[in-house]
Amino acid sequence: MSQDVWTAVDRYFGDLLFPPDEVLDAALTASESAGLPAIQVTPALGKLLHLIARMIGARRVLELGTLGGYSTIWLARALPDGGSLVTLEADEKHAEVARANLARAGLTTLVELRLGRALDTLPQIAAEGRAPFDLVFIDADKANIPDYFAWALRLSRRGSVIIVDNVVRGGAVADPATTDANVRGVQRFAEALAAEPRVSATVVQTVGAKGYDGFSLAIVNEPG
């Protein structure tokens, strides 16, 4: 198997299951035009997030790492009337692009974008009593994932779902000698996940147009 095959299979299923979507396509085009890194979720993962949110009947969603708002749109579209999504973004340029994309999508009444470091804004959210969130999607800097996971657990309820993207790192996560700060962050998160009795979790490895990676999926047994 090769990257060409993975990309071709992604394209095959994408053509069948993800018809052209003006809003999502425009979000990608705007992000590319603004020079944002092409690290947003794939359409397949975006649709998976959307489906999971619907499966669990999520009404309140928390996202860490907005980028251009592509995954935000997928998640927000899954919300029922009266639902809400809070998305956190540290980069002002990314936030500006995301706000425009969300406005184009007609989602500004559902989505609140907060600019600032997540480790600064998460305590504010807790203090405001915005929790519990039904679904937390973490797709931010990997070095701080253990701290993000701790906050996600604190802001959850029994039955909440916590998803963390990009945890396989092209297989580097299995290298005990790595000095990469992002990989080390994922390793520390995996160790915390394994030691945390309040969640049940798994990791799904993925291949596709963006290469080899994966995500973790956890359900909260006991919040706190």
Residue 108 structural domain = 3-220
| DSSP strand pairing (211-220 vs 156-165) | antiparallel
Q: What is the CATH number of the domain that holds 204?
A: 3.40.50.150
Please count the structural domains in the chain.
1
Amino acid in the structure at residue 131: A
Q: Do 110 and 83 meet the contact criterion of CB atoms below 8 Å apart? A: yes
Measure CA of the first residue to CA of the last residue in the chain; give whole Å. 43
pLDDT in tens, the chain (224 residues): 799 999 999 999 999 999 999 999 999 999 999 999 999 999 999 999 999 999 999 999 999 999 999 999 999 999 999 999 999 999 999 999 999 999 999 999 999 999 999 999 999 999 999 889 999 999 999 999 999 999 999 999 999 999 999 999 999 999 999 999 999 999 999 999 999 999 999 999 999 999 999 999 999 998 76
